[in-house]
Amino acid sequence: MPSFTFPPGFRWGASTSSYQIEGALDVDGRGSCVWDRFTAQGRIQDGTSAATACDHYHRFPEDIALLKAAGFDSYRFSIAWPRVQPTGTGAVEPRGLDFYDRLVDGLLEAGITPMACLYHWDLPQPLEDAAGPQGGGWQGRDIIGPFADYARIVAARLADRVKEWMMLNEPNVVAIFGYGVGEHAPGHTLGEQGILRALHHQNLAQGAALRAIAAEHSGLTLGTVLNLQPSVPDSDKPEDVAAAARWDAVWNRVSLDGVLRGEIPALLAEKMDSFVLPGDREAIRYPIDLLGINYYSRMTMKHEEGHPFDVWWGEAQCRRWTGMAWPVQPEGLYDLLSELRTGYGNPAVFIAENGCAYDDVVAEDGQIHDAERVLYFREHLESVAQALAEGCNVTGYLCWSLLDNFEWAYGLAKRFGVVRVDYDTQKRTPKDSYHFLSAVAKSGRL
């Protein structure tokens, strides 16, 4: 692709999440969350934990300096609900809010626009344990009110300085891996119904939180972050085509059509009938100002019984594979952005996450020459550039992630950062990919 100049005002930055980087899990009155429990149950593959992670809770000034030196103007971080309300409801822990105060002030001083995400998976454990009639956590409607209250509390403290608010991060991943197949906290294997309930209740909680914040503040940019990955069939066989369509409905459309259109995908309506109540469609719809998209790859799906929705992963056609064994398919990002333009009225979107893990090596010169990650970013930015050239309303690109961090069920072994973290010394070393993104951000050119 010939050199491309991004439009003026196009935003550059990085994303992180509280649980993956903060560490300091037992300081300043923080309550426990479902990932603490999941870890204690021995469910993390490499046996590590997020107890220290990047120690960002104490080292955030250094991390802000890394963002600034890169020339990034935007940073998405998440707020840990159990720091703000240790039991998920009621009493507020001021020391938890103080931490985010310090972080936000530091970002603003560095000239970086803070974007706060309210929920990146650290659900207070008591909310999971308080099983209402339909089950705990995101299984029931009991969580809607507490989430809206939490949103109100955080916004009351920070909205004078934080103008951009994302409600959720990847409700589909929470629902499928946390409640459906048990690979993420809280580790339930509730199958289809568990997945759909968790999706619907996150939609409802999100709608309530958006309204709660909007009722008390004006001039904010309100949105949410979805993991959207085009679902393509493994073959032309009708059963695979149908399976990919079902997976598309589950993975992408419950969340996307929920918030943007107030719709439940027709393919799933019957399965969701028992818990979608009158008024819910109106409650989940909200005219968000900005949609965050996390894109990693397409999903190649086939019909296979014995899994939720009788769908399973097929064989992807791709350029290469990442260290997660995820296919590298930058075309999927272009397809996705194009579809949002043509099928959803071209809403304002930004890339809230895009990145890859590789088994990085520290070279003799002490640097990390992560050429594969650089190529990954380049190719995905080319897709963004192509989409922009065709009129897609993409406002910015935030890589995943600033730092190597706690990669959920994989533990610390998988490194997604553009900055290496040595977990023994906490030394940060910017990788070649950091310098690459920095050069693009500073020049506005690819």
Q: Cβ(250)–Cβ(193) under 8 Å?
A: no
Residue 17 interacts with ligand BGC (CB under 6 A)?
yes
Report, in Å, the least distance between residue 388 CB and ligand BGC.
23
Site for ligand BGC in 304-363 (CB under 6 A): 353
Pairing of β 311-313 and β 299-303: antiparallel
Q: Is 20 annotated as a binding residue?
A: yes
Q: Which of 257, 256, 254, 306 is nearest to 275 (CA)?
A: 254
Residue 400 marked ligand-binding = yes
Number of residues that bind ligand BGC (CB under 6 A): 11
Strands 74-78 and 11-15: parallel
Minimum CB distance to ligand BGC smaller for 22 or for 170: 170
C-alpha span between 224 and 168 (Å, rounded): 5
For residue 381, the SS3 value is helix
Q: Are strands 419-422 and 427-430 parallel, antiparallel or unpaired?
A: antiparallel
Residue 111, CA atoms < 13 Å, CB-side half-sphere: 9
Check the annotation: does 344 bind a ligand.
no
Q: Which of 149, 234, 360, 407 binds ligand BGC (CB under 6 A)?
A: 407
Q: Identify residues 384-403 at the interface with ligand BGC (CB under 6 A).
A: 400
Among 416, 417, 433, 434, binds ligand BGC (CB under 6 A): 416
Comparison of 294 and 438: residue with beta carbon closer to ligand BGC: 294
CA distances from 368 to 53, 144, 355, 363, 421 (A): 20, 44, 16, 6, 11
Catalytic residue among 315, 353, 382, 390: 353
Q: Is 303 annotated as a binding residue?
A: no
Q: Mark residues 259-288: x for contact with ligand BGC by CB under 6 A, - for none.
A: ------------------------------
For ligand BGC, which is the closer residue by CB, 15 or 438? 15
Q: What element of type H or E holds 243?
A: helix 238-248
The CB-of-414 to ligand BGC minimum distance in angstroms stands at 8
Q: How far apart are CA 131 and CA 290, in angstroms?
A: 33
CA–CA separation, 65 vs 172, rounded Å? 33
Between residues 52 and 169, which has the closer beta carbon with respect to ligand BGC? 169
386 is in an annotated binding site: no
Nearest to 170 by CA among 343, 292, 32: 292
Q: Which two tokens stand for residue 276?
A: 């979608």
- Tell me which of 22, 93, 128, 170 is the catalytic residue: 170
**Interface residues for ligand BGC in 151-180 (CB under 6 A)?**
169-170, 173
For ligand BGC, the closer CB: 6 or 57:
57
Catalytic annotation on 304?
no
Which of 125, 193, 206, 294 is the binder for ligand BGC (CB under 6 A)?
294
Toward ligand BGC, which CB reaches closer, 14 or 159? Answer: 14
Binding to ligand BGC by CB under 6 A, coded x per residue (else -) over 219-238, reads --------x-----------
In the complex, what is the shortest distance from the CB of residue 399 to ligand BGC, in angstroms, rounded to a whole number?
11
Calpha distance 235→385 (Å, rounded): 30
The answer to whether the annotation marks 169 as part of a ligand binding site is yes
- CA dist., res. 397 & res. 127, Å (int): 33
State in angstroms the smallest separation of the CB of 269 from ligand BGC: 27
DSSP annotation of 371: H
The CA-CA-CA angle for residues 188, 194, 197, to 5°, reads 135
* In 344-426, alpha helices (H): 371-389
CA-to-CA separations, 171 to 90, 114, 255, 257, 265, in angstroms, rounded: 24, 22, 7, 13, 16
> Is 192 annotated in the active site?
no
Tokens coding 315: 């064989």
Q: Would you say 20 or 329 has its CB closer to ligand BGC? A: 20
Binding residues: 20, 120, 169, 296, 400, 407-408
Catalytic residues: 170, 353
Binding residues for substrate: 20, 120, 169, 296, 400, 407-408
Residues that bind ligand BGC (CB under 6 A): 17, 20, 169-170, 173, 227, 294, 353, 400, 407, 416
